Chains A and B, each alone.
Chain A
Amino acid sequence: MNRNIKIVGILGLAGYILLASVHGYCADTVTYRLKWLFNASVAGDLYADARGVFARHGLQVSVKEGSPEHDAIKELELGYAQFGAASADQIIRAVSMESPIVVIAQLFQKNPLQWVYRSAKLTIQSPVDFKGKTIGVTYGGNDETILRALMAKFGLARDSVNLYSVRYDYTPFYEGKVDLWPVYINAQGVIIRQKLATAGEKTAFFSPEAFGIRFVANSVITSRKLLKENPDMVNRFRQALIEGWQEAMAPENTEKTITVLRQFDKDTPEATAREQLTETRPLVQPGSPKDVGQINVTAWKQTEDIMLNQKLISGPVHVTRILKGNLKTD
C-alpha cells in the first residue's frame, strides 16, 4: 500500500514537472526593460506580470528595472531585451541614428514632468512669471528640452531665468535656493508635496502641457525585426500590457495594484504609493480605459519639432513611420 502511494506520488511529481516544463516551453519568453525603478510609474507593467496578464496571453515576461545606466533601446539592439520602455526624446534621437526600433504603445497620455513650487511664495499663472526665478533643470535631460521649448514659445530670453543643475537630492529646493524643481508629478512630486505639507507649506505644480507643450514621455518599443518576424507575439505583448495597465488603473482594483506595487517597491510607504497611484491614473488614462496605450501622433510630431528646433537631432526623422500601435490624432 505504502509502496503504491510512493509510486503514485513520484509519478504525480514527474507529471507536474513535465507539464510545467511544457508550459514554460510553450510560452514565449521575453525580457522587458523598464525605463526607471519600480514605482507607481510602472504600476501597469508590474501588474501585468504579477497578476498573470502576460501569462494569459501565452507570454513569460521577465520585467527588469530601469535606470539611467540601462538604456532599453541599446538592450533591444544588443538582444538583451525584446521589449523596452523609453522616453520619446530617447526614441527620436535613436531613430535619427538609424536605430531599428518601433513604438508599439504610449504609456503616458500626458507627460508627468512638471515643476513643483511653493504656492505661498510664488504665483505662476504662465511661463512669463518665470522671469527672474531660479528654475531647476537636468542638463541633457528632457526637462531641459521642455523648459527651453516653453521659454522659446513665450519669448523668454535665456538670461531672463536662472537655471540650476539638479540631481536626485532635493535639498536645494527644500532650502529655498531653487524656486521651481522638476519632478514626475506621480513620483517625486508626491514625496515633495507630502514632505512640505508636514512642514506646513503648500505646493503647486506647473504643467508645461497646460501651455501647449506636448512632449511625449514613456512609450513601449520593440525592434523592427521582431515586429516583422513575429507580429503575433508583439501584438500579444502589447495587448497584455494594455490590459495590465487598464486593470491596474481601474479604481476597483486599487488594493490589488497597491499590493503589487508594495511587492516590488518595498521602500515607498503605502500612503505615498496610494497617492502616487492616484496621480498616475489621469496621466495614463485621462478619459476611458480605451485611452490606455494610444499613440498620440500629434504629440509625437510636436516632440520631433521641438527636438529639431533645438538641434537635438540633425534632421527630420519623420517619426510617424515608427509608430505602430493604436494611433490617434487631436
Chain B
Amino acid sequence: MLHKRLQQFVLVYAAGVLSLILMKYLLHLSDYVIPGPLEIWRTALSVFVRYLRNVADTLWIAVVGHLISILLAFAIGIAGRRASWIGSLIHAAAYNIQAYPMVAVAPIIFILLGDGIIARLLIAVMICYFPLLLSVISILSEPVDSVEHFYEATGRMNWRLQMRIRAYENIHKLTTVIVGSATMAMVGTIVAEFVAADAGIGYSIRIALYQSDLSKILAALFLIGISTSLYLTALEWLGNVIQRKCQA
C-alpha cells in the first residue's frame, strides 16, 4: 500500500516538475522564474535535512490536530445528529465557520494565543474539524432501518446502541472520511505556519517565497507530499485493521 502510494506521488510530482522545466526552456525563462534541474537538485540537497526536521515538526502537529478533530467531530456529531434545535445549531455553526478564510482568522488566533504550538494546533483543528463534523453528522444521522427496526420494535433501542449500529454499518465510509480529513489537518498546520508561526515547513515556505526561491519551495512540496503519503497510508492500514476486526 505504502509502496504504491509513494510511487504514485513521485510520479505526479515528477510530472509537475518536468512540465515546469519544459515551460522554462520553451519560453526561455531565467532561473529566477523557474530554476534549472541542476539548481533544483543542488538546493534540495542543501536544505534536505533542515526541511525534513521542519516537515516532521509540521506532521506531528497535524497528527495531534487530526486526532483532536476526530474526537471532537464524533462527540459533537453524535450530539448534532438529531433533528433537534441543537443539531440544527451545530449544522449552521459548522457551515458558517467553515466559510471563514483561515488566513483572516489565523492572525486573531495568534494575537490571543501567541505564536506557539497551541495556536498552530488550533488552526489545524479548525480547518480539519468542520468538514469532518459535517460528514460524521451526515453518516450518523442516516438510519440503518433493517437493523434498527428490530431494536425499536423490541423497545431495546438507546442512543449508544443506535450509534454503534450506524458506526458499524458505515465503518468503510467513516474510515474514508477520516483518511480524507488527514490532508486537511496537514493543510491547516501549514497555513498556520505560513501566516504567523515561526516554525514548521509552512514557515520555511514563507521565507523561500520572500527570497523568490522556487527550488526551495519545490523541495518543501516534495517532503510535504512524502510525509502526507506516509500518514495517509498509516491511517488506511489502521482503518483496514479496524474493519477486519469489526467483520470478525
Interface size class on chain A is 20 to 34
Interface of chain A residues 90 through 132 with chain B (CB within 8 A)? 90, 93-94, 97-100
Beta-carbon contact of A138 and B210 below 8 Å: yes
CA distance A77 to B28 in the complex (A): 9
**B96 is an interface residue with CB less than 8 A from chain A:** no
Cβ of B1: which chain A residues have Cβ within 8 Å of it?
A: none
**A209 is an interface residue with CB less than 8 A from chain B:** no
Beta-carbon contact of B210 and A140 below 8 Å: yes
Binding site for A on B (CB under 8 A): 27, 29-33, 35, 107, 110-111, 115, 195-196, 198, 206-212
Q: How far is the CB of B47 from chain A (nearest CB, A)?
A: 13
Q: How far is the CB of A240 from chain B (nearest CB, A)?
A: 27
Beta-carbon contact of A74 and B107 below 8 Å: no
Chain A 269-308 interface mask (CB, 8 Å, partner B; 1/0):
0000000000000000000000000000000000000000
Given contacts A78-B29, A99-B33, A169-B196, contact A141 B107 (CB under 8 A): no
Given contacts A68-B209, A68-B210, A140-B206, contact A171 B111 (CB under 8 A): yes
Q: How far is the CB of B216 from chain A (nearest CB, A)?
A: 10
Beta-carbon contact of A140 and B30 below 8 Å: no
Beta-carbon contact of B30 and A94 below 8 Å: yes
Interface of chain A residues 160 through 216 with chain B (CB within 8 A)? 165, 167-169, 171
Can you offer 30 A-B residue contacts whose CB atoms are under 8 A? A73-B32, A73-B33, A74-B33, A77-B29, A77-B33, A78-B33, A93-B212, A94-B212, A97-B30, A97-B31, A97-B32, A98-B31, A98-B32, A99-B30, A99-B32, A138-B210, A139-B198, A139-B207, A139-B210, A140-B206, A140-B207, A140-B208, A140-B209, A140-B211, A141-B210, A165-B198, A168-B107, A169-B110, A169-B111, A171-B111
Given contacts A78-B33, A94-B32, A98-B32, contact A169 B107 (CB under 8 A): yes
**A71 is an interface residue with CB less than 8 A from chain B:** yes
Chain A 57-71 interface mask (CB, 8 Å, partner B; 1/0):
000000000001101
Q: How far is the CB of A283 from chain B (nearest CB, A)?
A: 22
Cβ of B207: which chain A residues have Cβ within 8 Å of it?
A: 139-140
Cβ of B115: which chain A residues have Cβ within 8 Å of it?
A: 165
Cβ of B212: which chain A residues have Cβ within 8 Å of it?
A: 71, 73-74, 90, 93-94
The main secondary structure of chain A at its interface with chain B is: loop
CA distance A78 to B212 in the complex (A): 15
Q: Most chain-A Cβ atoms within 10 A of its Cβ — which of B110, B196, B206, B212?
A: B212
Binding site for B on A (CB under 8 A): 68-69, 71, 73-74, 77-78, 90, 93-94, 97-100, 138-141, 165, 167-169, 171
Cβ of A78: which chain B residues have Cβ within 8 Å of it?
A: 27, 29, 33
Which are the 9 A-B pairs with shortest beta-carbon distances?
A: A140-B210, A140-B207, A97-B31, A97-B32, A94-B32, A99-B30, A99-B32, A165-B198, A98-B30
Q: How far is the CB of B101 from chain A (nearest CB, A)?
A: 15
Cβ of B32: which chain A residues have Cβ within 8 Å of it?
A: 73-74, 77, 93-94, 97-99
Cβ of A99: which chain B residues have Cβ within 8 Å of it?
A: 30-33
CA distance A169 to B196 in the complex (A): 9
CA distance A230 to B29 in the complex (A): 20
Q: How far is the CB of B40 from chain A (nearest CB, A)?
A: 13
CA distance A97 to B207 in the complex (A): 18
CA distance A169 to B115 in the complex (A): 12
Cβ of A94: which chain B residues have Cβ within 8 Å of it?
A: 30, 32, 212
CA distance A73 to B115 in the complex (A): 32
CA distance A139 to B209 in the complex (A): 11
Cβ of B198: which chain A residues have Cβ within 8 Å of it?
A: 139, 165
CA distance A98 to B31 in the complex (A): 7
Contact of B30 among A69, A100, A138, A165 (CB under 8 A): A100
Q: How far is the CB of A69 from chain B (nearest CB, A)?
A: 8
CA distance A3 to B209 in the complex (A): 65
Looking across the interface, which residue of chain A has its beta carbon closest to that of B208? Answer: A140
Cβ of B209: which chain A residues have Cβ within 8 Å of it?
A: 68-69, 140
CA distance A69 to B208 in the complex (A): 12
CA distance A169 to B210 in the complex (A): 17
Contact of B35 among A77, A97, A165 (CB under 8 A): A97
Q: How far is the CB of A184 from chain B (nearest CB, A)?
A: 16
Cβ of A68: which chain B residues have Cβ within 8 Å of it?
A: 209-210
Q: How far is the CB of A141 from chain B (nearest CB, A)?
A: 5
CA distance A73 to B32 in the complex (A): 9
Contact of B107 among A69, A71, A167 (CB under 8 A): A167
Cβ of B35: which chain A residues have Cβ within 8 Å of it?
A: 97
Cβ of B195: which chain A residues have Cβ within 8 Å of it?
A: 167
Cβ of B107: which chain A residues have Cβ within 8 Å of it?
A: 167-169
Cβ of A93: which chain B residues have Cβ within 8 Å of it?
A: 32, 211-212
Q: Most chain-A Cβ atoms within 10 A of its Cβ — which of B33, B35, B110?
A: B33
Cβ of A169: which chain B residues have Cβ within 8 Å of it?
A: 107, 110-111, 196
Looking across the interface, which residue of chain A has its beta carbon closest to that of B211? Answer: A140
Beta-carbon contact of A77 and B30 below 8 Å: yes
